[in-house]
Amino acid sequence: MAYTCELGSGQRIYLENVGEHTAVTLASSGAGQQQQSGSQFTTGAWTAPPALFRTPQGVVIQLTTAQGSHHLQLQGNQLGVMSQSPALGNAQQMQMSAGVAMPGNTMPPMQPMGSAQPMQPMQPMQPMEPMQPMQPMQPMKMGNMEMNASPMQMRMGNMEMQMGNAASSHTASSAASAGKAKFCSQCGTPVQPSDRFCANCGHQLHT
């Protein structure tokens, strides 16, 4: 609870010890209006009630704490800390009242925010399905022509061509027909492919 004192001319001062600090509030009223201003000083915890003295220089507030005595001076509406202890032998001590509430503290304290719920971890992404391999290209047919991509080959009638194979079926069939027996076109006698003339009639053979 706070201490308060009537200063006159519609002014009232409030003092309160909050931990290691001293809160001072000056309230003034007049002409239907009310104003207040507050200050806070680090003084330490009080060990005795505060005392107010009226001096020719203004009002002096004496605070007795575990760290020693502190003095504040009020001149008009200006409040400050005195660097030296004043002489209060001839000063008039003012009457103070205890157990009052500081003005402006009628609002209920704010409720602390509830503890925030922890964020749920994200679900792991499902692995992507592997791509299906491409189906091999089906062989193309057009009339008596057939093409195949694997291996690369083309067939047309009795002729076949294949990439990477120098020999073709056409060449092989030609060699096969060349290996067969031949006959002389003049007399019909069988001759060998290496013969240049017919051994029977002497006719020149076409190689």
Q: What is the pLDDT, as a whole number, of residue 108? A: 43
Tens digits of residue pLDDT in 36-58: 888 999 999 999 999 999 998 88
> In the chain, what percentage of residues exceed pLDDT 70?
75
Confidence of residue 110 (pLDDT cuts 50, 70, 90): very low
Q: State the DSSP H helix or E strand holding residue 173, giving kind and residue range, or none if neither.
A: helix 169-179
Check: CB of residue 64 under 8 Å from CB of residue 3: no
Q: What is the pLDDT, as a whole number, of residue 104? A: 66
Check: CB of residue 24 under 8 Å from CB of residue 14: yes
The rounded distance, in Å, linking the Cα atoms of 101 and 84 is 31
- 17 or 155, which is more confident? 17
Q: What is the pLDDT, as a whole number, of residue 181? A: 59
Model-wide pTM > 0.85: no
Check: CB of residue 193 under 8 Å from CB of residue 203: no
Tens digits of residue pLDDT in 135-189: 766 667 666 677 776 667 777 766 777 765 444 444 444 444 444 557 787 787 8
- 119 or 40, which is more confident? 40
Instruction: Collapse the DSSP code of 121 into the 3-class scheme (helix H, G, I; strand E, B; otherwise coil) and give the result.
Output: coil
Mean pLDDT of 47-73: 91
The rounded distance, in Å, linking the Cα atoms of 98 and 59 is 18
